[in-house]
Structure 1
């Protein structure tokens, strides 16, 4: 954790192999009763929020920045994941994405755009496969 960064966690569970970096002035909020399985990578330059009751599989990567400047600009935008979201194995979520409550992200997806509440998305880049899905842990 760099200077001025904030980590909020209330009953969030990580399995082994979590690789988390909070850069200067960043904010990471992890919702209660949510978990991330093994070998996750979180790179927080700005603001990442993971809601309550989320189930996140292994090899998950989330980055709210492209990390390096391109043409003098650094693309850094917040990421917000809603409540009761299921994220499959080897999913990557990039900067500026909002994931709605109850959404499901299929294994191997690359999420570059917002995911509506209750939608199932998958693919590279992720696209809506089905709407109005419901899931249980």
Structure 2
């Protein structure tokens, strides 16, 4: 398999691979264009991100936005993200319909080996799935391999390290279920 195929499938890969480096630079260039684009030209600004990300409907992302590749991100209808969204998409990130993200949210599929020798040459990732009707508060971090169930709310500054079921309020570091949402 290629380094890109290894990466997308969550296997160890070399991020310095020339193809991956070129694809990352392309994504960073488009993110830069988006981030400095005239804020009065909303549709034109979002069209820049549509070159990277699969949007399944309407979406609005406030600048600044950062991602690694973009092509591993799928976003449902009626999506809103406040300022400074970062998505490290070495593996697929699937976001459902009617999702709202507060400012400074970080969604990261990327991780690294604990062994310092291995960490010099390889990294890997695990996909993330965020269901429909989810709200993630500002400064929250969603870590590799997490699924957040439909209708759940993640409180501000939470670090989501494990799956969160449907229809719950969860917050903290590490994030934990506080109660059901009625």
Q: TM-score, normalised by structure 1?
A: 0.86
The corresponding residue for 1:12 is 59
- For the pair shown, which has the larger CA radius of gyration, 1 or 2? 2
CA offsets per residue over residues 103-130 of structure 1, 9 Å max, x none? 0000010000000000111000001100
Whole-Å separation in 1 of the counterparts to 2:58 and 2:23: 23
Aligned to 1:2, the other structure's residue is in SS state helix
The corresponding residue for 1:122 is 171
Whole-Å separation in 1 of the counterparts to 2:63 and 2:110: 24
Choose the corresponding residue for 1:84, options 123, 133, 136: 133
Question: How far off its partner does 1:58 sit?
Answer: 0.4
Give the count of matched residue pairs.
129
What is the aligned-residue RMSD (CA, Å)? 2.0
Whole-Å separation in 2 of the counterparts to 1:89 and 1:39: 10
The corresponding residue for 1:96 is 145
* Runs of 4+ deviating beyond 4 Å: none
Query: Structure 1: which 5+ residue stretches go unaligned?
Result: none
8 Å contact kept, 2:84–2:104: yes
Choose the corresponding residue for 1:111, options 160, 163, 168: 160
Whole-Å separation in 2 of the counterparts to 1:47 and 1:122: 24
Instruction: Tell me: CA distance 1:75–1:125, structure 2 relative to 1, closer, same or farther (3 Å).
Output: farther
Aligned to 1:114, the other structure's residue is in SS state coil
| Higher helix proportion (structure 1 or 2) | 2
**Does residue 92 of structure 2 align to residue 43 of structure 1?**
no
The corresponding residue for 1:70 is 114
**Does residue 2 of structure 2 align to residue 2 of structure 1?**
no
Q: TM-score, normalised by structure 2?
A: 0.65
Whole-Å separation in 2 of the counterparts to 1:69 and 1:2: 23
Whole-Å separation in 1 of the counterparts to 2:113 and 2:163: 23
